[in-house]
Each structure stands twice: as structure tokens, then as C-alpha cells.
Amino acid sequence: MASLVQSSWQFLITHFSEFQLACLGTFFLHESVFFLSGLPYMMLERSRWLSKYKIQGKNNSPAAQEKCISRLILYHFGVNLPVVIISYPLLKRMGMQISLPLPSWKIIFIQIVFYFILEDFIFYWGHRILHTKWLYTTVHSVHHEYATPFGLTSEYAHPAEILFLGFATIIGPVLTGPHLMTLWLWMILRVLETVEVHCGYHFPWSLSNFIPLYGGADFHDYHHRLLYTKSRNYSSTFTYMDRIFGTDTGYTNLKASKKAEAEISSEQKKQH
């Protein structure tokens, strides 16, 4: 496996320049992972397959889904691509490399864990500020147009919010100057995570059932269902910031209430 990765990377750095890989390669890799992971959730909603796992009973209309996709394409080429290009000199200045040898998996793991922790911290406070009245009305309300989210709505947002999200995602790599492969792996994991938490489904195999403090779709879906002043649940990937600052109480109380109701219902069925 290691030799295959090495040879594949050798092919890339032989046939493409550093700028092409770091900018265009990063952008088109993002687009591929984002749409390939997000479109299936849109099709699930349209077909109503696996509807028993859908968190909300409501569905988005095909017109609403198509509006989301058309805006995403505009935002990705008009905002995301320029951000990637502008970030390139910063990453290079901080030591980003594309050459062989590739970093060890231990180094990659440590750096990506650091990126998740830092991104969670920055995202939590930025997201919480976006829910103040003026910023919500002016900026963040665009993202909340979809009270019933599906995977692709994860990146549907006002351009100003896209810039903020880009900062929260890229600040870790800028600080550490990683190898480009580490940056790509971080981006892939971050995209898959944000698509999953916006997917609108809670499956038996959802990561939140297995990873402690991982928010998942059920946690974030609650955020989309409520008004901006009451939504809370501001975390990005993991829920520890909401737990520390008590902004998950509405969600935890609701889950506890539903669990109690289910237990009472189960006991009543047994008695009859």
C-alpha cells in the first residue's frame, strides 16, 4: 500500500507543477469529494428511500435542491477557487511541501487531529457570533434557508460566511505548513464530515453512534430546525464546546425526554 501511494505521488509531482497541484488539484479534489458524497443524499430525499432514518418528515422540493446546486457552483468558482489560490503563497511560505518522501502516518495523524481541534474552537465561536441578530439576518440566514438540510447544503452559505469557514479550515495547515498530501487528507475528511452532519439522516451506522462527542446529523439537524435565537448546538465536528458552555442543553433535554417517553411506551405495551 505504501509503495502504491509513493508511486502515485511520484506520478503527480512528475507531471504537474506545485501550483497546479496545490491550487487546481486541491480545488477539483474538493469538488469531486463534495459532490460525490453529497448527491446521494439528495437522491435519497427525492426517492424517499430509507425514509425511516430521515430525521425530519419534510423534504426539499426538486426546485429547492436545484437552486442549491446552481448557487454552489457559482460560490465554488467565484469564492472557493480564489481563496485556494490566495492561500497558496501563505502555505508555501509556512513550509508546505509536495516532494517525496511523504510524511509518516504518525505525523499526518497528529497534524489532522490538531486541525480538527483548532477548527472546532474557531468554528464554534464564529458560528455563535453569526447567530447574533444582525449577522444572522445579513449573512448566516442564507445557510438557514434550508431548515431541512441535505448533504449539499453544508456549503450553501453567504460568500462572507464561506470566507470565514475557509479561514477556520485553513488556519491549521497555515500554522503548520504540512505536506500537500496531509492537506488533501484533511480537506477530504472535513468535507465528508460536513456533508454527513447536514445529510438529514441518522442511520444505525452513523459515526455519532460509535465516536464519543461526535455530533453527527442528528445533533446538527436540531440546530437547523429552530429559530436563530434558540438554535444553539454551534459546534462543527465534536460537541465538547457546546457541552463546556452549556449550549447543547435544549438538544440533550429533548433527547432525554424522547428516551423517557419511549421507555414508558415500551412498559405500557408489556403490561398489555
The pLDDT assigned to 3 comes to 82
The pLDDT assigned to 233 comes to 93
Single pTM value for the model: 0.92
The pLDDT assigned to 113 comes to 97
* 166 domain-assigned: yes
Q: What is the pLDDT of residues 208-246, one digit of tens each?
A: 999 999 999 999 999 998 766 677 899 999 999 999 999
The pLDDT assigned to 155 comes to 96
User: 42 is written with which cell numbers?
Assistant: 439528495
* 266 domain-assigned: no
The pLDDT assigned to 172 comes to 95
Could you give the CA distance from residue 240 to residue 259 in angstroms, rounded to a whole number? 22
Q: Answer whether 41's CB lies under 8 Å from 150's CB.
A: yes
Domain count of the fold of the chain:
1
The parent domain of residue 150 ranges over 2-256
Could you give the CA distance from residue 198 to residue 221 in angstroms, rounded to a whole number? 7
Query: If you compute the radius of gyration of the chain from its CA atoms, what whole number of angstroms results?
Result: 20
Could you give the CA distance from residue 128 to residue 139 in angstroms, rounded to a whole number? 13
What secondary structure does DSSP assign to the chain, as a single string?
-HHHHHHHHHHHHHHS-HHIIIIIIHHHHHHHHHHHHHHHHHHHHHHTTTGGGBSSS----HHHHHHHHHHHHHHIIIIIHHHHHHHHHHHHHTT-B-PSSPPPHHHHHHHHHHHHHHHHHHHHHHHHHHTSHHHHHHTGGGGGG-SS--GGGGG---HHHHHHHHHHHHHHHHHH--BHHHHHHHHHHHHHHHHHHTSSB--TT-GGGTSTTB-HHHHHHHHHHS-TTT-----SSBSHHHHHHTTTHHHHHHHHHHHHHHHHHHHHHHH-
The pLDDT assigned to 126 comes to 94
Q: What is the pLDDT of residues 169-204, one digit of tens each?
A: 999 999 999 999 999 999 999 999 999 999 999 999
The pLDDT assigned to 160 comes to 94
* 272 domain-assigned: no
* 8 domain-assigned: yes
* 251 domain-assigned: yes
* 219 domain-assigned: yes
* Amino acid, res. 94: M
User: 45 is written with which cell numbers?
Assistant: 430525499
The pLDDT assigned to 209 comes to 95
Q: Which of the residues in the chain have pLDDT under 50?
A: none
Angle between helices 180-197 and 105-130 (to 10 degrees): 40
* 187 domain-assigned: yes
Could you give the CA distance from residue 144 to residue 59 in angstroms, rounded to a whole number? 15
The pLDDT assigned to 110 comes to 97
The pLDDT assigned to 261 comes to 67
Q: Answer whether 212's CB lies under 8 Å from 193's CB.
A: no
* 164 domain-assigned: yes
Q: Greatest CA span in the chain, whole angstroms? A: 73
